[in-house]
Amino acid sequence: MEYYRISWRFTNRKEGMGMNKKIGLALGLGIVLLVPNLSLAECTNIGGFTNFSLVGKNTVVLYAGSSPVAQFDVLDCSVQPTSKIHLIKSDVCDGDEIMIDGSRCTMMEIKPLGP
């Protein structure tokens, strides 16, 4: 009877390890699918911009003098040609925020345009 108990416990441990392998595989697959999406996000430094222009309704192009620095789409806010844009931080990526007319707005589809 002792042999039967040891065998039974070993069988349960083996099944538990199978479940751990499945969880590990699912977690690994999730990471593999997530990492390429993170690398697709564009980042750039927009700290030197001096003015901006609008392209369409909510696409902003930032300029340093007459040279374009970056372009991005604005979510959650309306941008006007007379809007006041203030940086929260100078190194920005998709999903970061910028202040437009005193409101926090989300920047998406950031594209560096300068050197």
Q: pTM score, two decimals? A: 0.63
What is the tens place of the pLDDT at every residue in 62-76? Answer: 999 999 999 999 988
Q: Is the pLDDT of residue 4 over 60?
A: no
pLDDT for position 17: 55
What is the tens place of the pLDDT at every residue in 47-56? Answer: 888 999 999 8
Q: Is the pLDDT of residue 102 over 90?
A: yes
Average pLDDT, stretch 14-24? 64
Per the rule left: phi > 0, alpha: psi between -120 and 50, beta: everything else, 48 is alpha
- The pairing of beta strand 97-100 with beta strand 85-86: antiparallel
In the structure, what pLDDT confidence band is assigned to residue 38 with cuts at 50, 70 and 90?
very low
Q: Nearest CA to 111 among 69, 65, 64? A: 69
Cβ(54)–Cβ(4) under 8 Å?
no
The domains of the chain are located at: 1-40, 43-112
